[in-house]
Structures are given as C-alpha cells and as structure tokens.
Structure 1
Amino acid sequence: MFFPMFIGGLIGYQLGRFPGLLIGAVAGVVLAQYLRNRLRAKLTDLQSTFIEPMFSVMGSLCKADGVVTRDEIQVAESFFTRFRLSEQQRAMAKAAFNRGKSADFDLDQEVARFRRISGGQPLLLQLFLQVQVSAVSADGAVHPQEHAMLVRVARGLGLSELQVEQLEAMLRGAHSGGQAGSTRASTSQQLADAYKVLGVDPAINDADLKKAYRKLMSENHPDKLAGRGMPESMRELAEEKTREITHAYDIVTEARKSAS
C-alpha cells in the first residue's frame, strides 16, 4: 500500500507541489486497490472457467467402468476443499460432475475446451490429467475402461500414454501405503512402478538414475511451478507428485542396495 501511495505522491508533487502530493497519494492508493480487485476477480473467473471441464471430465471418467463408486465421489468432493472452491463454485462443480456422467456427454469436446482455455500450458495440462487419474484410482485400481479413457483424454490434451502410466504408477504407490523415505521391502510390481514413475529403464546405471531423479524433482518442484504460474490452490497436487517421485527413487535405490 505504501509504494503506490509514494509513487502517486511523488508524481503529484512534481505537478502541483504539496496539494498535488496529497491528491497523487490518494490517487495511487485508489488505483492500487482497483488493480488488486481486478486481479482477484480475474483469478476467480479463471478458476471458475476451469471448474466446468475439470469436473465434467472427472464425472465421465468415473462412469467409464459402468458405476461411480462412493470412493470416487469422495475424492471428487475432496477437490472442492483442495481447490478452495466457494459455495457457488462447489455447486457448479457438482453440476458439471453429474453432466459428465450423462450418456450424451461429449468427452472429446470438453477436453478440447480445457486445452483451449488453458492456453496449452503444459503445467496446467499435466495437473488436469493428474486430477483425473487421482479420481478414477480412488478405489486403488484403474480399470481397463478407465485407462483407455484416460489415454483418450491425455491425447486430447496433447500428452502421451506414457504420462498416464507414470501417474497411474504414482497412485498405485500412494495406495500401497508407501511413504517417502520408506525402507520396507518392495514387491516386483512396486519396483516396476517405481522405474515407470522415474521414467527410466531398469538397466540404467546408478549415476544416470540419480541425474534422472534430480531432473524430475527440479522440473516438478512446487516453488518452481508456482513461479511459472501454477495457482496456489494446486500446490498440494504438486507436493504429492514430488513425494511420490522421491518414494519411487527410494524403492529403486533400496532394491539396488539389497541386490548388491
């Protein structure tokens, strides 16, 4: 508040000495408040614009295996809190989710709509896909019909099937009860998933494995993503992703230690 007042006062003083200083200071405060309100309104409108495609696609995906489970509904509702939705936005999200479950819902059109309003920003596209995978894997598994639709959504966003598989592997790791830093023995599936999360071949050497892990952590660090425009309401999703990346790295390094 002081800085706009100072600048406005300085300009006013140059134009009208002391009276100009007072008028300029007041004008600076009013302008700063106006710009803050405009920015706040713009961010609210942007979030509301994302709600429709986000939750309608979620509803369609949850219905892919023929039934929407209570777990899937609870996960969908948990995003209301995580995204800090207002009561009006929650009502909008519920209506969108139900619309997505309808037989005449056009999934491809809605995905294309999100890609358009997001400006094709990779960060927002990846977070959108992460939300969808989280919703359909609420019961601890992604069914074949759900996977096929997730791949369809990913391709509509301009992403790959590999990115779907990496996110599915992350969610399996989360549902298995593993936590970052865990040293308990890994099953063959957990180890395979860990390599998939890290996006590396099991034959990779230790040095290149560490480089790949550090690169992945750097690309997905919440602070770096925030600097690139990630909404604060999505920070928790980014933090979850980095935890699962670290958990995958721990599984691989522990398995290698045990085998040596």
Structure 2
Amino acid sequence: MSIWANLGEFISSTASQALSAVIESVRTVFEGDPATRKQVAFSIAIIALSAKMAKADGIVTPEEVGAFQELFEVPEDEAAHVARVYNLAKQDVAGYESYASQVKALFPDEADILRDVLDGLFHIAKADGVIHERELSFVETVSGIFGLSEREFEGVRLRHLEPEEGNPYVVLGADPSWDDEQLKAHYRKLVRENHPDRMLARGVPEEFLKIASDRLAVINLAWQHLSRERGL
C-alpha cells in the first residue's frame, strides 16, 4: 500500500478532528506498526507545515503548489488525500509553532528526519524563485523548535539558497581546522547518511526521496570546492 493510501485511510478515520489532534493521533493509531507510523507522521508533518508556510508570504502561488506535488510525487488518483490534509492545516487555528512542537515530539531522538522535514520546506518555499523573509523566518523558527543549532540551520539554508557561493565548510558542517583525512572521512560519512537507502531506513517514505538526491548534489558540490581549494 502506498503512503498516500495509508494517509488517506488515516485521515478518513479522523475526519472530524482538527489537524493538531490528527497529528497527535498518529501515535496511537499506528502504535503496533512503527514503520508505517513514521511514514505517515513524516508525510503529515511536511504537508501541515507546508500549508502553514505557504501562507507565510501572504499568498499561495501555483509554483509553490507545483513544488509540493513534485516533492511528494503524488499520483493524480491520490491527490485528494494530500489536499485534505493541506486544507485542514490552512483552516486549523493552531499556530505553526504548535505543529512543529508536535512533530518534534513524534521524532524526539531523530534529528536526521527532522532535517529531512526542513529540506522539504525549503524546497517548497523556493519554488517561486525567491524565498520571502517571512518564509525564511518560518523555517528558522521551526528549525529552532526541532532543536537544530544556528550553525546547523545555516548549513541547510546555504544548501538551498547559496549552493555555489555559500561557505562549503558550513554546507558540510565541517571544521576548517580539520586535516585532509578528517575532512574526507566526514564527507564520506555525509554521503552514507544521505543515501536514499538510509533515508528509507529511518522512515522517510519512498515518495520523498527527491530530498536525498537534491541534498547529495549540493554536498558533492561543496566537496568539489574544498577538493580544489585543498588540492585533493
């Protein structure tokens, strides 16, 4: 069963609830199926926060909606399930900070999957060619709620906004004082951690693997800059 079918069944079973209550229900509905619980939780997290963020710049553009569908690879016959969550989030009076806190509680010790959520939000925010100040503030606030440090957030920001010009050490989360072998080991670790198979293993649905390919491309670009700079 696809993640969208699982999501559709879950949303149908919680149809009368506000989305903030739906997010909380993920814990109990899928208690005996941790793999599906993670996938549904991840999907709802990005959909809900995306819907809130889409209003952060005052309008929802066709490009942002298109990016949403591109990132999720939503089949046409499953689009209604996603739209239902999206609209619930837009209508829910709960603030996005409360959503972010709920998502953090669903993945309390899994910083990697929370970074995956942030990458998804950036992908959608930049779809119309520019990230508005309110959108950037939105993602930065979510990052803080998720427990990421300022330097970690800056690395995510540079990957999306300044992949060519950004400090490659910050993009890689590396220390300029490291010697060549330390830097190589760190780069190899990043490549392993961001391989699509690793993302699947930690609960990211297959439909979201564009996050992995985009992230790896920027990691490799930053590594190329440092390799040339150091003559590796």
Q: TM-score, normalised by structure 1?
A: 0.63
Question: 3-state SS of the aligned residue for 2:166?
Answer: helix
Q: Tell me how far apart the structure 1 counterparts of residues 55 and 99 of structure 2 sit (CA, whole Å).
A: 16
Q: Which runs of 5+ in 1 are unaligned?
A: 1-37, 175-189
Q: Report what 1:192 is aligned to.
A: 166
Q: Tell me how far apart the structure 1 counterparts of residues 105 and 190 of structure 2 sit (CA, whole Å).
A: 27
Preserved contact between residue 53 and residue 135 of structure 2 (Cα < 8 Å): yes
2:187 partner amino acid: Y
Q: Report what 1:77 is aligned to.
A: 69
Identity of paired residues, percent?
26
Write out aligned runs for 1:135-146 (5 A): 135-146=124-135
Write out aligned runs for 1:29-108 (5 A): 47-81=39-73, 87-88=77-78, 90-102=79-91, 104-108=93-97
The structure-2 alpha-carbon separation of the partners of 1:51 and 1:208, relative to structure 1 and needing over 3 Å to count, comes to closer
Write out aligned runs for 1:1-260 (5 A): 47-81=39-73, 87-88=77-78, 90-102=79-91, 104-118=93-107, 120-172=109-161, 190-202=164-176, 205-256=179-230
Deviation at residue 126 of structure 1 after TM alignment: 1.6
Q: Which runs of 5+ in 2 are unaligned?
A: 1-29
Q: Tell me how far apart the structure 2 counterparts of residues 163 and 231 of structure 1 sit (CA, whole Å).
A: 23
Q: Tell me how far apart the structure 2 counterparts of residues 144 and 103 of structure 1 sit (CA, whole Å).
A: 23
Q: Report what 2:4 is aligned to.
A: none
Deviation at residue 211 of structure 1 after TM alignment: 3.2
CA RMSD of aligned residues (A): 3.4
Preserved contact between residue 154 and residue 164 of structure 1 (Cα < 8 Å): yes
Preserved contact between residue 64 and residue 124 of structure 2 (Cα < 8 Å): yes
Q: Tell me how far apart the structure 1 counterparts of residues 40 and 185 of structure 2 sit (CA, whole Å).
A: 39
Preserved contact between residue 63 and residue 128 of structure 2 (Cα < 8 Å): yes
Q: Tell me how far apart the structure 2 counterparts of residues 225 and 215 of structure 1 sit (CA, whole Å).
A: 14
The structure-2 alpha-carbon separation of the partners of 1:226 and 1:60, relative to structure 1 and needing over 3 Å to count, comes to closer
Deviation at residue 252 of structure 1 after TM alignment: 2.8
Deviation at residue 235 of structure 1 after TM alignment: 3.3
Q: Which has the larger radius of gyration?
A: 1
Q: TM-score, normalised by structure 2?
A: 0.70
User: When the two structures are aligned, how many residues end up with a matched partner?
Assistant: 203
Question: 3-state SS of the aligned residue for 2:83?
Answer: helix
Q: Tell me how far apart the structure 2 counterparts of residues 235 and 150 of structure 1 sit (CA, whole Å).
A: 20
Deviation at residue 249 of structure 1 after TM alignment: 0.9
Question: Larger RCO: Structure 1 or Structure 2 (Cα < 8 Å, ≥ 6 residues apart)?
Answer: 2
Preserved contact between residue 221 and residue 238 of structure 1 (Cα < 8 Å): yes
Please list the CA deviations of residues 71-119 of structure 1 after superposition, one character each: whole Å capped at 9, or x if unmatched.
21111121331xx56845x323223333444583421221122223335
Deviation at residue 153 of structure 1 after TM alignment: 0.7
Q: Tell me how far apart the structure 2 counterparts of residues 167 and 153 of structure 1 sit (CA, whole Å).
A: 13
